[in-house]
Structure 1
Amino acid sequence: MKNIILILSGLILISCNKSGVAKQEVKADLMEVIAEDQAPAAAVAIPPPLAVSEKLLPDNNTSNKDGYTPKKTDTISKKIIKNGDMKIQIGDIKKAQSQVNEIIKKNNAYIQKEEFQNTDMDDNLNLIIRVPHKNFDALVSSFSDGVGSVLSKNISSNDVTEEYTDISIKLANKKIYLEKYRNMLKSAATTKDMLEIQENIRELEDEIDVAEGRLRFIDDRVNYSTLTLNLYKEKVRSSATSEIGFGSRFMDSLTEGWNSFVSFLLGLVSLWPFFLLIPIIVFVWRKWKSGKKDKN
C-alpha cells in the first residue's frame, strides 16, 4: 500500500513540474512575440511635412535620380586677344592704299572701318582692320616692310582664358538649374509655386543670354585680331608759294599792319558809350570834392 502511495505522489510532483515549465515557456514565447511586435513600431518615425519654399528649391540629393549630373568642363584652350595700332608715313596716298588692299586680301583680313581726312597740312587715311589671329603678325610685318616709313607701332596681347573658363562653368550650371526649374513648373501644384518658378526661370534665362553674349564677344576678339592703321602724308608747299620774294613779303607785312591799325581804331570806336561816361564821372567827383571843402 505504501509503495502505491509513494508512486502516486511521485507522478503528481512530476506533472506539476511539467505544467510549471510549460507555463514559463508559454510566457517566454509571448514576451518574445510582444517584443517583436513593438520593436518595428518604435523604430518607425513620421517625417515632417515639407514647406512650399523647400519644394521649390532644386534637390541636390536627387540629381542623380533625375539624370542632371553635371558634366565635366572640357579643357579650354588659351584665349589670347591681340590688338595693335600703326602710323606709317607715305609718299602717295593712292599707291599706298592699293598696297594695303593687296596685303589685306593676302592675309584673309577685311576693313571694318575707313576714314579719310584731307587738310592743308597733310592727308590721313585711317583704317580699322580685322585679321585672323594666326595672320596678325604677318600682316603687321607686311605693313612695316613694303608700304612706307613706320612712325609708330604698338602691339598688345591680353590673356582672357581665366575669364572665359569662369563664364563657361557658370553658364553650364545655370543651364542645369534652368532645366530643373522647367521640370518643376510642369508639376507645380499651386499658382504661387508656379509664379515663383516662372520668375526663377526668367532670371536664369536673362543671365544665360548675357553669359552667352560675352562668350561670343570674346571668341570674336580671339579669332580675329584688330589693327588700327594710319597712313600719313605730309603736304609740300607749292612752287608758287615757296618762291615769293622779299618785296612781296614786305608789302604783305605793310598790309597786315594797316589792317591791324584799322581794327584797333574800330575797337576804340565801339567803346564810345564808355567815353561819354568819363566826363560825367569827373564832373560828379569834382562837385562832391568842392562841396566837401565848403563844409570845412
Structure 2
Amino acid sequence: MKNIILLLSGLVLINCSKSGGEKYEVKADLMEVLQEDKEPAAAVPAPPPLAISEKLLPDENRVNKDVYTPKKTDTISKKIIKNGDMKIQVGDIKKTQKQVNEIIKKNKAYIQKEEFQNTDMDDNLTLIIRVPHKNFDALINSFSDGIGSVLSKNISSNDVTEEYTDVAIKLANKKIYIEKYRDMLKNAATTKDMLEIQENIRELEDEIDVAEGRLRFIDDRVNYSTLNLNLFKEKVRSSATSKIGFGSRFIDSLTEGWNSFVSFLLGMVSLWPFFLLIPVIIVLWKKWKSRKKNKN
C-alpha cells in the first residue's frame, strides 16, 4: 500500500513539474511577444518636414547659432598695403634703365607698366613696379642709392586688416546660409518654394563671388607692393649740344607767329555783329546832335 501511495505521489509531482514548466515557457513566450510589440511602438516616427515657405527666411534664433564667429585660432595676420612714388633725375635714360632692370630682377619684382615720352624739354620714363612686400624697402633703398638724384619720394602704408577680417567673416556666414538653402531646396514642396529658394541661392552666390574677389584683390596688394618710378633726363638747350638748332627754333617761331595772327583774325571775324552796330550808333548820334542844334 505504501508503495502504491509513493508511486502515485511521484506521478503527481512529475505532472506538477511538467505543468509548471509549460506555464513558465508560455510566460516566456508572452514576454518575448510583448517585447517585440513594444519595440516598434517605442521608435518615434520622424516629424513631417515643415513647409518650405515658412523657412525661406532663416529664423534669427536659429541663424545666430549657425553664424560663424572667429576663434582665437582664426586670428588673421596683419594685412598692410605698401605703395610708393619716386622721381629721379638721371644722366642717361638707357643706361639707368639697365641698372633698374638689374635691381628689379634682384628683388624678384616685375614691371607692370612702362611708358616713355621724348619731349623738347626732357626724356621721361615711367615704370609701375610690383615687388614682394618683404623686398619693398630693399628696392626703394637700391633706387635711392646710385642711379640718380632723387627729387621726390613718397611711401605710404595702409592697414586693411579690419576690412579683410570683416569680409572674411561675412563670406563664411554666406557659405553657411547657402548650404542651408541647398538643403531646403531638396525638400521643397511646391514650385513657388523652389523658385524662391533658387533666387536666394543665386543672390548669395553673387555676393560670395564679390567677397572672394575682394579678398583676392587685398591679398594681391598685400603680397605685392606697388612703386611708381619716374626717371627723367632734362635736355640742355644749347647750340652745341642740343639736337634742336637755331634754324629749327626760328622756323618754329615763324609758325607760332603766323598761328597767332590767324587766331587774331578769326577772333575779329567772330565779332562781326558788333561791327554792324557801330554805323547804326554813329547815325543815331548824328541825328540826336542835329536835333539839339535846331532847338538851340
Instruction: Name the TM tier (shorter chain).
Output: 0.5 to 0.7
Could you say if the C-alpha distance between residues 59 and 118 of structure 1 is closer, same or farther in structure 2, counting changes exceeding 3 Å?
same
Aligned AA (2:132): P
Q: Which residue of 2 aligns with 1:182?
A: 182
Q: Which residue of 2 aligns with 1:98?
A: 98
| 1:59-98 paired onto structure 2 within 5 Å | 70=68, 72=70, 74-98=74-98
Aligned AA (1:55): K
Aligned AA (2:198): Q
Q: Secondary structure of 1:77's match?
A: coil
| 1:166-245 paired onto structure 2 within 5 Å | 166-240=166-240
Q: Secondary structure of 1:239's match?
A: coil
**Contact between 1:56 and 1:197, CA under 8 Å: does it hold in 2?**
yes
Q: Secondary structure of 2:168's match?
A: helix
- Residue 133 of structure 1, CA deviation: 0.6
Q: Which residue of 2 aligns with 1:3?
A: none
**Contact between 2:130 and 2:226, CA under 8 Å: does it hold in 1?**
yes
Q: Secondary structure of 2:145's match?
A: helix
Matches of 1:108 and 1:182 in 2, distance apart?
Answer: 45
Aligned AA (2:135): N
Could you say if the C-alpha distance between residues 111 and 287 of structure 1 is closer, same or farther in structure 2, counting changes exceeding 3 Å?
same
- Residue 289 of structure 1, CA deviation: 2.7
Could you say if the C-alpha distance between residues 241 and 104 of structure 1 is closer, same or farther in structure 2, counting changes exceeding 3 Å?
closer
- Residue 186 of structure 1, CA deviation: 0.9
Q: RMSD over aligned Cα, in angstroms? A: 3.6
Q: Which residue of 2 aligns with 1:45?
A: none
Post-superposition Cα deviations, 1:145-182, rounded to whole Å, max 9, x if no partner, equal 12111111111111111111111111011101101101
| 1:51-66 paired onto structure 2 within 5 Å | 53-58=53-58
**Structure 1: gaps spanning 5 or more residues:** 1-48, 243-247
- Residue 203 of structure 1, CA deviation: 1.1
**Contact between 1:83 and 1:155, CA under 8 Å: does it hold in 2?**
yes
Identity of aligned residues (%): 79
Matches of 1:292 and 1:70 in 2, distance apart?
Answer: 98
Post-superposition Cα deviations, 1:78-128, rounded to whole Å, max 9, x if no partner, equal 111000010111000110000000000010000000011111111110000
Q: Secondary structure of 1:116's match?
A: strand
TM-score computed with the length of structure 1 as normaliser: 0.67
Matches of 1:205 and 1:275 in 2, distance apart?
Answer: 70
Larger radius of gyration: 1
- Residue 202 of structure 1, CA deviation: 1.0
Matches of 2:138 and 2:238 in 1, distance apart?
Answer: 38
**Contact between 1:58 and 1:181, CA under 8 Å: does it hold in 2?**
no
Alignment size in residue pairs: 230
Matches of 2:196 and 2:91 in 1, distance apart?
Answer: 69
Q: Secondary structure of 1:218's match?
A: helix
Aligned AA (1:227): L
Q: Secondary structure of 1:82's match?
A: strand
Tell whether 2:120 aligns with 1:135.
no
Aligned AA (2:75): T
Matches of 1:194 and 1:204 in 2, distance apart?
Answer: 15
Matches of 2:90 and 2:275 in 1, distance apart?
Answer: 59
Q: Secondary structure of 2:103's match?
A: helix
Matches of 1:136 and 1:238 in 2, distance apart?
Answer: 40
Aligned AA (2:56): L
